[in-house]
A and B are shown apart, each in its own frame.
Chain A
């Protein structure tokens, strides 16, 4: 490209200084070094528009309606408001593509995606957007379909955009992490792939996200960023290798162990014995992960593993931030029918919300509006004290069904203890 065709970018040029890798240099390489004139021109006008934004401190992209044949979502349409000045990037849509669970790639598949993308798109891509999609940034309306057709043939599909089930995320988990208490990979694919139709054809009140973390460290931010959070956990004793533990105490000293581990336990359930062994009151352990994080060589999650499910996490719009709320304190995920129960729970939650949520109302906001008990009623889940921080403080409630509810509670307890008698790890669920 001749120099006079290139937009001057004095402000962006300043982002080529400094030691961190520069995205500006990357876009310039597409402008100056790519064999395709189409890619060069698109990168040039993209830089021009971005420089214009830097100068005027405003954005110039507008949405619209673009999708691929048969789908209603998955594309973030972008039309430039200053397209006359920057015509080669005036249509600059993003394709949200679902990544493999756990975000694993071979270099071969990355190269194949890169080859397809430079053929049809801008050559700019992000691994990954905040919802977890591969973001292929910048294609014309016409090429959106062509790129999709090509990558769809070798196994990639669009993610969600708009009021629909969104692309899901799961942590590296069982593939590489000793803290993992679940098969995140399987949960992720079973849940989101059960709702492919709801991913591709937006028809829900608003977005609905699944996120799966293999342990309560919640590296996927599932509790605060997803409508349906699945968190791996356990319910029997933390496995302590006392020899390894004593080695750690010996190396770090008692004061370090007391200050950094024993007293940091949120339920004060740990004690360092006189012989430097560790004792844990597992009945009071809330599975916070702190001690396991500090001494992974000596401590491991218990072996009776399963998941907790929390519903309704989301950010500010419209009523303020909400964390997810426990609706299943613990369930096993050993058999296929256990996994099916999890999928059914997701189905009944989405169905109830689709029926009762207002337009643009997230699931958590609906629960806030109607109350948790009405939601639980709607999806057929019984109340459990693990769902609350504390019982109600206000006496303003009508309670003439008290006796029936109390009987129900005792009947449930009886059923659970009968079920527990038949299983090596106790009852299968507490929900």
Chain B
């Protein structure tokens, strides 16, 4: 059989962004002077040259079909010089040289169902991953959770009434692709994996699965004469790390896969060093299609933060000031033994002083 001629890839890597950049941004590259925030969803940047550029930000469904993508392009062609960019939280941004077009652009976006906002001290678009739509190990969906929550938080996306910006993230397993957030809604498994011993030998590279376990709870075994793996269930922390390299070690469970909520993750260096999120609630049912229990807790935390935090305090700054006892008191969430860390480095999270809030 004749060998098929294969096309050789052109290994260009990351494309040059200048070819697609708005001409005013090219012209004033590195020469911006200041910005202001005329209304939620709109930024105005002023260059040293005196040029001004308006940015209009809009939230979308993130999983875009080509019709929606073309609709966003049509709006860009009509009102925004045909240039767009996307933010790290998957909002679309239109750049305009002409202030006159800002209001008609907003009108066109809203008429098409997109949501203008997500700037300044708003609840930003929830960052999320693939979930049941495309991931191989998800405990829950991602786009669905986010859609259901953003339906409830849309007014906070469209306004800037929070003490500072609020970044919410979701993740469908404990690997946490959604990342750190002021509020993070993450899957938390509560039972060890259920192992299909007939499949392990053929599907899994057993030594690397053993090596993957953070608590050395997995060991080689023989079941029904077949080589397989077994889990010491007393040691197992139900993290699910064995499941990606070994699919017969099923960690997901319709009932025992729960959601947990974490707060105070902050990537910025402003006011204090970047911080990791901390556990505040768990045992929340994974309840499609609209996950009302998780949304209710998120809204409760947001309400307390909005009422009690001072201007410019992110969630972590706010809790640093009021202390954890007050946080649990304000939110009405239970404080349990599971909140006390016992992983490596846990000692640094214990109170080794007489500083108490009583």
| With contact pairs A62-B136, A178-B32, A323-B274 given, residues A126 and B83 touching in the complex (Cβ less than 8 Å) | no
Asked if A130 is at the interface (CB within 8 A of a chain B CB), the reply is yes
Asked if B50 is at the interface (CB within 8 A of a chain A CB), the reply is no
Task: Tell me which of B11, B26, B113, B148 contacts A21 (CB under 8 A).
Answer: B113
| With contact pairs A128-B86, A129-B129, A218-B267 given, residues A23 and B13 touching in the complex (Cβ less than 8 Å) | no
| With contact pairs A54-B288, A360-B208 given, residues A288 and B34 touching in the complex (Cβ less than 8 Å) | no
Are A290 and B271 in contact, with the CB atoms below 8 A? yes
Interface residue stretch chosen among B66-74, B99-107, B223-231, B299-307: B66-74
| With contact pairs A63-B136, A217-B269, A266-B271 given, residues A29 and B67 touching in the complex (Cβ less than 8 Å) | yes
Complex CA gap A199/B11 in Å reads 10
Instruction: List the B side residues contacting A76 at CB < 8 Å.
Output: 134
Shortest Cβ distance from B215 into A: residue: A318
Are A315 and B175 in contact, with the CB atoms below 8 A? yes
Shortest Cβ distance from B208 into A: residue: A359
| With contact pairs A104-B20, A176-B55 given, residues A59 and B289 touching in the complex (Cβ less than 8 Å) | no
Instruction: List the A side residues contacting B19 at CB < 8 Å.
Output: 100, 106
Asked if B159 is at the interface (CB within 8 A of a chain A CB), the reply is no
A152-178: CB near B (< 8 Å → 1, else 0) gives 110111100000000111011011111
Instruction: List the A side residues contacting B178 at CB < 8 Å.
Output: 130
Instruction: List the B side residues contacting A315 at CB < 8 Å.
Output: 175-177, 179
Are B254 and A57 in contact, with the CB atoms below 8 A? yes
Are A130 and B177 in contact, with the CB atoms below 8 A? yes
Are B134 and A61 in contact, with the CB atoms below 8 A? yes
Shortest Cβ distance from A71 into B: residue: B9
Asked if A287 is at the interface (CB within 8 A of a chain B CB), the reply is yes
Asked if A108 is at the interface (CB within 8 A of a chain B CB), the reply is yes
Instruction: List the A side residues contacting B11 at CB < 8 Å.
Output: 157, 196-197, 200
Asked if A424 is at the interface (CB within 8 A of a chain B CB), the reply is no
Interface of B is mostly: loop
CB A52 to nearest CB in B, in angstroms, measures: 9
Complex CA gap A34/B70 in Å reads 13
Asked if B192 is at the interface (CB within 8 A of a chain A CB), the reply is no
Are B154 and A125 in contact, with the CB atoms below 8 A? no
Task: Tell me which of A98, A117, A125, A149 contacts B14 (CB under 8 A).
Answer: A98
Are B83 and A224 in contact, with the CB atoms below 8 A? no
Asked if B21 is at the interface (CB within 8 A of a chain A CB), the reply is yes
Instruction: List the A side residues contacting B312 at CB < 8 Å.
Output: 260, 264, 290, 294
Are B63 and A137 in contact, with the CB atoms below 8 A? yes
Are B69 and A110 in contact, with the CB atoms below 8 A? yes
| Residue total for A at the interface (Cβ-Cβ under 8 A) | 130
Complex CA gap A323/B265 in Å reads 12
Asked if A180 is at the interface (CB within 8 A of a chain B CB), the reply is yes
Task: Tell me which of A20, A24, A106, A319 contacts B154 (CB under 8 A).
Answer: A20
Asked if B236 is at the interface (CB within 8 A of a chain A CB), the reply is no
Are B179 and A107 in contact, with the CB atoms below 8 A? no
Are A54 and B289 in contact, with the CB atoms below 8 A? yes
A334-356: CB near B (< 8 Å → 1, else 0) gives 00000000000000000000000
Interface residue stretch chosen among B138-146, B322-330, B331-339, B350-358: B138-146
Range for the number of chain B residues in contact with chain A? 35 or more
CB B355 to nearest CB in A, in angstroms, measures: 19
Asked if A240 is at the interface (CB within 8 A of a chain B CB), the reply is no
| With contact pairs A124-B65, A157-B13 given, residues A59 and B84 touching in the complex (Cβ less than 8 Å) | no
Task: Tell me which of B36, B136, B147, B276 contacts A297 (CB under 8 A).
Answer: B36
CB A358 to nearest CB in B, in angstroms, measures: 8
Complex CA gap A180/B45 in Å reads 13
Instruction: List the A side residues contacting B63 at CB < 8 Å.
Output: 23, 26-27, 124, 126, 137
Complex CA gap A293/B36 in Å reads 11
Instruction: List the B side residues contacting A196 at CB < 8 Å.
Output: 11-13
Chain A 175-226 interface residues, beta-carbon cutoff 8 Å to B: 175-178, 180, 183, 185, 188-189, 192-193, 196-197, 199-200, 216-225
Are B66 and A125 in contact, with the CB atoms below 8 A? yes
Interface residue stretch chosen among A11-19, A380-388, A404-412: A11-19
Instruction: List the B side residues contacting A318 at CB < 8 Å.
Output: 212, 214, 241
CB A324 to nearest CB in B, in angstroms, measures: 9
Complex CA gap A102/B131 in Å reads 26
Are B136 and A78 in contact, with the CB atoms below 8 A? yes
Shortest Cβ distance from B113 into A: residue: A21
Asked if B1 is at the interface (CB within 8 A of a chain A CB), the reply is no
Are B290 and A177 in contact, with the CB atoms below 8 A? no
Are A260 and B311 in contact, with the CB atoms below 8 A? yes
Are B270 and A102 in contact, with the CB atoms below 8 A? no
Asked if B233 is at the interface (CB within 8 A of a chain A CB), the reply is no
A138-154: CB near B (< 8 Å → 1, else 0) gives 10000000001100110
Are B310 and A259 in contact, with the CB atoms below 8 A? yes
Shortest Cβ distance from B83 into A: residue: A106
CB B264 to nearest CB in A, in angstroms, measures: 13
Asked if A69 is at the interface (CB within 8 A of a chain B CB), the reply is yes
Asked if B280 is at the interface (CB within 8 A of a chain A CB), the reply is no
Q: Which residue among A62, A102, A180, A300 has the maximum number of chain B CB atoms within 10 Å of its CB?
A: A102
Instruction: List the A side residues contacting B161 at CB < 8 Å.
Output: none
CB B177 to nearest CB in A, in angstroms, measures: 5
Asked if B38 is at the interface (CB within 8 A of a chain A CB), the reply is no
B104-117: CB near A (< 8 Å → 1, else 0) gives 00000000011100
Please name the 8 residue pairs, one residue from A and one from B, whose CB atoms are nearest each other, closest first: A18-B151, A53-B132, A26-B65, A57-B254, A100-B17, A107-B73, A216-B269, A193-B13
Residues of B within 8 A of A (CB): 6-22, 25-26, 29-30, 32-36, 45, 53, 55, 59-70, 72-74, 76-77, 82-88, 90, 92, 95, 113-115, 127, 129-141, 143-144, 147-148, 150-152, 154, 174-180, 208, 211-212, 214, 239, 241, 247, 252, 254-255, 257, 265, 267-274, 276, 286, 288-290, 310-312, 343-345
Q: List 7 A-B contacts (CB under 8 A).
A: A26-B68, A54-B288, A59-B252, A100-B16, A176-B95, A197-B11, A317-B239
